[in-house]
Amino acid sequence: MSMSLLKYLTLDTVTADLQGTAKQEIIENLLDILMKTGKVKNREAALAAVLDREKKMSTGMENGIAIPHGKTDAVDELVAAVGIMKNAVDFDALDKEPSRIFIMTLSSSQRTGPHIQFLKEISELLRSEDMRRKLLAARDPRGILQVLADNL
């Protein structure tokens, strides 16, 4: 497993207290975290890309994980955010279970490589029940990044 996940995540793009009670609200809150990086040039375009992707097929995976993502000209390079929720929320997941671990990525419409690599790595990492348990137990962004760093 490579270190590319950590290349895209910082204390500013990780939260242990993601808020929201519905899919759109959670997506918007993750997007607002990404907006703070200054790397998203157009919030509306980025939001439209993620919601458009959700319409095609929900990004609610299994085991309480959701990976909302989109490709947009609003970013020049891949940006990513991780949010852990205290309470699970229905995200229209494949296994019909609610989600608590959210990873959002936005990537340039022009470049597919980093996007696919990131999604592949995060999916592999989160297959581990131990890993998910540690992430859910993390109390703050530093703790979340530490869990990721320890397992890469």
Q: Which two tokens stand for residue 56?
A: 């095609």
Q: Is the pLDDT of residue 3 over 60?
A: no
The residue behind tokens 């497993």 is: 1
Q: Residue 19's pLDDT band (boundaries 50, 70, 90)? A: very high
- CB-count burial class (<10 Å; 0-12, 13-18, 19+) for 131: middle
DSSP state at residue 107: E
pTM assigned to the model? 0.94
pLDDT, tens only, 100-146: 999 999 999 988 788 888 888 888 899 999 999 999 999 999 999 99
CA distances 90 to 38, 58, 76, 98, 105, Å, are: 30, 11, 31, 4, 20
Angle between helices 141-151 and 129-137 (to 10 degrees): 160
Work out the mean pLDDT of the chain and round it to a whole number. Answer: 93
Give CATH for domain 4-151. 3.40.930.10
Q: Is 69 a catalytic residue?
A: yes
Residue 30 predicted with pLDDT over 90: yes
> DSSP E strands: which ranges in the chain?
14-15, 65-66, 69-72, 79-89, 99-108
What does R_g of the chain's alpha carbons equal in angstroms? 14
Q: Report whether 47 contacts 31 (CB < 8 A).
A: yes
How far is it, in rounded angstroms, from Cα 115 to Cα 70?
9
* Alpha carbon distance 69, 81 (integer Å): 10
Catalytic residue among 31, 49, 69, 74: 69
